[in-house]
Structure 1
Amino acid sequence: MTESTQSSLLLRRQLKELARNPVQGFSAGLVDDSNVYEWELMIMGPEGTLYEGGFFKAKLTFPTEYPLLPPKMKFTSDLWHPNVYTNGDVCISILHPPGEDTYGYESASERWLPIHTVETIVLSVISMLSSPNDESPANLEAAKEWCVCELFYFK
């Protein structure tokens, strides 16, 4: 069985599992039924956060080497967040390639592991919306604003 066949079977199984047992906070489906490597997501802003009440669209693009390599995630809705680049790309540890970080910022256990699923990825992103990592921002301006908001509004 080829690597791409294995990854497509795994992705189809995860899609079926999410349809059978939906997870609160997001929904997921294929962009096009003929391509299991391109998923669209709808993420609900978590309660008690600046994003509460919002609905945010995103895409997950999986490599044929999945689950050995992580997917890429990009918000297609505008989202102002310290860990989301202005083009929508999500910067979160579990979506970084496996192994040691060449800059020494993340441990290998924080980065991509083949045990991650669509569910664990999206739940991590929802957690990121609640608790940004402002020490390693992808969007410096959003990180500065987050620190000001946190200082004045959340204390």
Structure 2
Amino acid sequence: MSLAQGRLQEERKNRRKDHPYGFFARPEPSGEGSSNIMKWNAGFPGKKGTDWEAGVYKVSMDFSAEYPAKPPKCKFVPPLFHPNVYPSGMICLSILNDGEEGDWRPAISIKQILLGIQYLLDNPNPASPSQSEAIHLYTNDKPAYKQRVRPEAEKNKL
């Protein structure tokens, strides 16, 4: 078993004991009762009191053989209208970047990643735009931005 697989097995065990209400994260089924420990399906509810509250947001997490030295690639499925989400669904968040530009540390857990993404939904980072229309509305017309966000929550209801 590789270092990455061992760490992900440990994360899986810990998730069963400790995860915030409404959050989920599990390896993707790969058929015949087995699962792919290197690819996870995860999700979380929008925070109460925010425009995202009504939805449950699904995230695909792809881990490389270099995990935990390198962060997983995380993307919303389906993609969201958000200043820090690329049209492909890829999430632009500092804790998901390694190197000089990023804040990734091997000690960051899947739980912490999901909490960070949940926080990002209602607290976009204008310094790191990924969608031109979303960042334009967010910085120049907050009421119009909020109007565009509400359908995202509706679209992502369970």
What TM-score bracket applies, with the shorter chain setting the length?
A: 0.7 to 0.9
Specify the SS of the correspondent of 2:2. helix
2:100 corresponding residue in structure 1: 100
1:111 corresponds to which of 103, 108, 122: 103
Query: What CA distance in whole angstroms lies between the structure 2 residues aligned with 1:120 and 1:146?
Result: 25
Contact kept, 8 Å, 2:137 with 2:145, in 1: the verdict is: no
2:151 corresponding residue in structure 1: none
Cα drift, residue 146 of structure 1: 1.8
Q: 1:1-80 alignment to 2 at 5 Å?
A: 5-32=2-29, 33-80=34-81
Query: What CA distance in whole angstroms lies between the structure 2 residues aligned with 1:113 and 1:152?
Result: 32
- Normalized against structure 1, the TM-score is what? 0.83
Contact kept, 8 Å, 1:58 with 1:75, in 2: the verdict is: yes
**Identical residues among aligned pairs (%):** 33
Contact kept, 8 Å, 1:85 with 1:138, in 2: the verdict is: yes
Q: Report the CA distance shift for 1:151/1:76 in structure 2 as closer, same or farther (over 3 A).
A: closer
**Residues 80-116 of structure 1: per-residue CA shift (max 9 Å, x gap):** 110000110001111112x323xxxxxxxx5211111
Specify the SS of the correspondent of 2:70. coil
- Normalized against structure 2, the TM-score is what? 0.81
2:134 corresponding residue in structure 1: 142
Q: Report the CA distance shift for 1:152/1:12 in structure 2 as closer, same or farther (over 3 A).
A: closer
Cα drift, residue 35 of structure 1: 1.2
Structure 2 runs not aligned, ≥5 long: 147-158
Contact kept, 8 Å, 1:25 with 1:45, in 2: the verdict is: no
**Residues 46-97 of structure 1: per-residue CA shift (max 9 Å, x gap):** 1122211111111000011111001000111241110000110001111112
Q: Report the CA distance shift for 1:112/1:125 in structure 2 as closer, same or farther (over 3 A).
A: same
Contact kept, 8 Å, 2:44 with 2:56, in 1: the verdict is: yes
